[in-house]
Every structure is written in C-alpha cells, then in structure tokens.
Amino acid sequence: MRVFPRFRRRARLARGACIAAPATLAFAVGLPTPTTGQAPGGGDPDRDLRVVVTQIAGATIYVDAGSQAGIETGDTVSVRREPGGDAIGRLVVISAASRSSALTFAGAVFAITRGQPLFLRLSGGAGPTGPAVAPEPGAPARRTPAARGPTVRGRVAIDVDAIDSRTEYGPGPDQAVERRYATPVLRFNALVSDLPGGIRVDVSGRGSYRYASPDAAAQPMSIRLYSASIDKRFSTLPLHLRAGRFYNPYESYSGYWDGGLVRIGGRRAGIGALAGFQPYRWDQKFTTELPKLSVFADFSAGGGRTSYDIDLSGHRVDPRNGLERHTFAGLSQILRHDGLRLSQDLQVDENPETGEWEVTRFHVNASVRASARVDVRAGLSRRRTYRLWESVDVIDYARDRAKLGLAVRSGRSAFVGDVGLVRVDDGDVGPAVSGSIHLPFPGPLGLTAAGSFWKGDRHEALALQPGLSATWSRVRVNAGYRYYRYDYEVSGTLTHAVQTGVSIGLDDGFALLLNGTGQWGEGLRAVRLYSSISKSF
C-alpha cells in the first residue's frame, strides 16, 4: 500500500534541493573544491594525461580517468593547464577505479572548476606507485627491477571544524534554536607497495570526536574505515586477487565491499566475480545483514590516439533484515579518438514492488576538441535513486537533463558553461544554465566566479558565487560571496554567505588550510571556522 507517494516525493525533493543546489557551484573560493583521460601510450618516460573535472566535494576532486589510464591510488601528480606547460600545483590520488579517480591537494590549493580540462603528469617508469600488471599471453617478459624494501605513500591530516548557528522559526523566544558543534578529525590514507610477493596494502579512513551543545543530538565518537585491502597481481598467471574492504576497480556500479575479488585475464580483457557484504552506508560499519554477489567482464582496445573500453556487470544484494532483494546490472563504454570522446553509462534495477526492470542511471556524454583551446560538449542523463531501506517507493523520482556546453582555456584563464533542459519528478521541462570562469589579473590576483539557475514546474533555484584569489609562491589567499535562492511552490529560502581562506604549502610535504564562512538569511545565522594541517609522504 502506498501512503501519499506524491507528498513524500515533494518533501524529499525540496529537502534534497536545499542541500544539494549549493554544491553544484563548488569551486576554489573559500574551500578547495571537488574531472576524461586517454589510454596510456606505453613506453613514454613521462606523459601528460588529459582529464576533466567531473565533480568537486570539499577538498576532493573527481576526474574521469583511472587505473586504465595509468592513475594509481597513492600517486602524487603535478597538474598543468596545458600539455607540457608549467605546473600549477600537485594532487594526491585518494582512490582510483578503472575509469575515475578521486584526488586531493598535496600542498598549496589552486583554482579548479567543475568541467575544466587538466593535464596530469604521470611517470611511465615502473615506480612504487604502480602495481605489477600481468603481461598479455605471449608477450615478452619484462626485466625485473632490483629488489627493494616496502614503499609507503599516503597522506595524514588533522582537521578542526567548528559551527555556531541560530535558526528562528517564529517571533517568540521559544521559537529559536541555537547550536554549536566542534569536530576534530584525523584523516589518513596509505598505500604500501613492493611488499614480498608483489603484495600491496591500501588503507584509508577517519576518526572524529564531535562536541555538540546540549540541545543538539550528536554521536561524539566516530571511526570510519573506507578501505583496508590486500592486493595481489600475479606476474606468471593472468590472475588478480583482492580481499578486505575495497572498491572494485573494474566496474562502477557495485560500490564498496567487505569481501573478496577474483579476476582472470590480462590488461586488455578479463572476467571476474566478487562475494562479500555491503557496509552500512551511513557509518561504514561492517555488517553481515547485506550479503552481496557480483560478476563482471571488462575489455579494452587500442591506445594512444584511439581507444575503446567497456565493462558489463551484474549484481545482487540479499538482505537478511526483512528488506527486499536488490538486483541490478550496469554497462559502461568509452570511445576516444584524438579530440573526440564518447561515453555511456547505463544501470537497470529490478523494482521489487512491480517485478519490472527500470532504468535508474543513464548518461551519454560527448566532447569534441574544436581547437587547441576549445572543447564542445553535450550530454543527456537520467538518474533515479534506489532506496534499499524503503518499503514503498523504493525507486525514487527521476531527474532528467539535456545539456550543451563549451570549455575554453587560454593560458591561466578558463571558462566552462552549459545550457540545457531539466525535468524533475516527471514534471514540466524547465531551463538550466551553469557556468564558471577563472581570469588571472596582472600580478598575483585572479577572479573566479560560478553560477547556476534551473527552473521546474514547482521549483526554482539560483546560485551565484564570485570571488578573488591571490597567489604568492606556495601561499594562496581567497575571498568570495555566495548568493543562494530556492523557491518551492509556496515556500522558499534565501541566504547570503561570505567566505575567506588561506592555504600554505610548507616544506617536507606539509600543508596548512584555514577557512572561515559567515552565512545569514531570514531566520538564519551561522558562523563556521575550518582548519586543516596535512602531511603527504
């Protein structure tokens, strides 16, 4: 029996839009903000890999190239805006799947915008960052480098996040809520390679303590382990084994695992299976209530100017806590040729309420390098969330979007813009516009600005975020303003915020980051202070 499904969908939509809309403007003003790569050419001592920023979340930058393009967890890469150009900074690879990677700043923060093309300098040598790759059958044997001890690469950071807020629901003194939070956090990730037998160990996680004012509910202690795995690739057999907590590097649909992976095949093609359990998503705790099984196949062809990658996978989660079984499948393809890139993602889920298969994830994206400095791109997407923990409306409302855009770069300047159409919850089609720009001034100053607007039949959102930055050697200072307005039928919200921050790259891999934010609006006031000191090794 469905209980007011339309009302529930609207409530979820309004709540989600209020939280998610400002994130679409994330860029390097105030907080460092969260990108398509080419297949490795092979044999080059060093090369610049072209990637595109696909998402920005806090200090995490997501790019659309991964292990198949030569990016490995634990790598530290220098970043350039043009191939062979001057480095603008360094990034550390937090995690690398087959076709995507998550990175964070290693030292001073620099301006990055969503959709911006970047060039990562990769080393072609058999260094400590890359795993031993099983050779293709019949390929000539490679010379084994001299034995050496284990190599450890990673990053550790200590953050402190403090928030003081006041929310007023009415004119009365009992209609105001004041809350204070202070959260020190220890974050870490480490990759240990060159262990006996070619084994690699990957560990990442965080521990935090959260102080909260008496009237604010909070769990004081929190320890979250994001990865803890042992990895072994055989040099004499086309076999790859992995066990522990990890993300499958050969497909992008099954998420994180507590279990084991077996893959048979070489670098170009393989088949495999995974078995284990799905961790709790809200706190990453281990549980045996969600046993999970996956099978997959992957294939890669070409390299250099032209390459093609595809993976196909099937998945099943069989909850032991009374929830419905989740069965789904995924297909991804990427074709690259010179300046042309075509990509496609498709996920279909079995609806436990109807027994029918429904498309929950569909993305088709194309980009063409019109010139050395201009990329033209287009995309079509549909996204529906599968809510495993619900008993009704398990597959959420659809979010559809079609877009056409440009990415223009010239030296240190960059512009990214998209125009398109959106539809939410099968409502009316509305316009959507987004863009960001970075302009350097003479001397150390630079202007960075971003904005977005979208409108549906019951929703409308506008966000603007201009800012200035100044860079001297390894010191970067920035300040900016954020305007955000969201209207939902008869209600809405309007907020303003001022952000300022400084990042300093220190010696021996240390980096310091300080940020402050003040936010205000009708019935709202909040102040946030954030600091982080990190050490890359």
Interval 133-177: pLDDT, tens? 333 333 333 334 445 678 888 889 999 999 999 988 777 777 888
- Would you give the DSSP letter of residue 27? B
Beta bridge partners of 313: 296, 330
Please state the pTM of the whole predicted model.
0.76
Percent of the chain with pLDDT over 90: 42
pLDDT, position 16: 39
Instruction: Write out the DSSP string of 435-484.
Output: EEEEEEPSTTEEEEEEEEEEE-SSEEEEEEEEEEEEEETTEEEEEEEEEE
Percent helix, strand, coil in the chain, to 5, is 5, 60, 35
The DSSP letter of residue 507 is G
The candidate with the shortest Cα–Cα distance to 79, out of 66, 99, 61, 97, is: 61
Which of 530, 529, 523, 531 is closest to 178 using CA atoms? 523
Instruction: Please state, in angstroms and rounded to a whole number, the distance separating the CA atoms of residues 104 and 37.
Output: 18
- What is the full per-residue pLDDT of the chain (537 aa) written as tens digits? 333 333 333 334 333 333 333 333 333 333 333 333 333 333 334 567 878 887 776 667 888 887 777 787 777 788 887 766 677 778 878 777 777 888 887 766 676 777 677 888 875 433 333 333 333 333 333 334 445 678 888 889 999 999 999 988 777 777 888 889 999 999 998 889 889 888 999 999 999 998 888 766 667 888 999 899 999 999 889 999 999 999 898 998 998 899 999 999 998 899 999 999 999 877 888 999 999 999 999 999 987 789 899 999 999 999 988 888 999 999 999 998 988 999 999 999 999 989 999 999 999 999 999 998 899 999 999 999 998 888 788 998 899 999 999 989 887 788 989 999 999 887 889 999 999 898 888 888 889 899 999 998 778 999 999 999 888 888 889 999 999 999 987 788 899 999 999 988 888 888 899 999 999 998 899 999 999 998 888
Cβ-Cβ contacts under 8 Å for 355 (sequence gap 6 or more): none
d(CA 365, CA 380): 7
Q: Where would I find the beta strands (DSSP E) of 473-523?
A: 475-488, 491-505, 510-521
Burial category of 61 from C-beta neighbours within 10 Å (exposed 0-12, middle 13-18, buried 19 and up): buried
pLDDT, position 409 = 84
Tokens of residue 337, six digits: 């040729």
Residue from 109, 59, 58 nearest 79 by CA: 109
Cβ count within 10 A of residue 165: 17
Alpha carbons 452 and 276: distance in angstroms, whole number: 41
Pair of tokens at residue 486: 């969201």
Rounded to whole angstroms, how far apart are CA atoms 106 and 387?
Answer: 36
Do 286 and 256 touch, CB atoms closer than 8 A? no
CA 337 to CA 14: how far, in whole Å?
41
Q: How many residues does the chain have?
A: 537
In angstroms, how far apart are the furthest CA atoms of the chain?
A: 80
Looking at residue 143, what is its pLDDT? 38
Q: How far is CA 338 from the centre of its chain?
A: 26
Residue 267 has phi, psi (to 5 degrees) of -70, -30
Pair 87, 78: CB distance under 8 Å: yes
Fill in the amino acid letter for 189: N
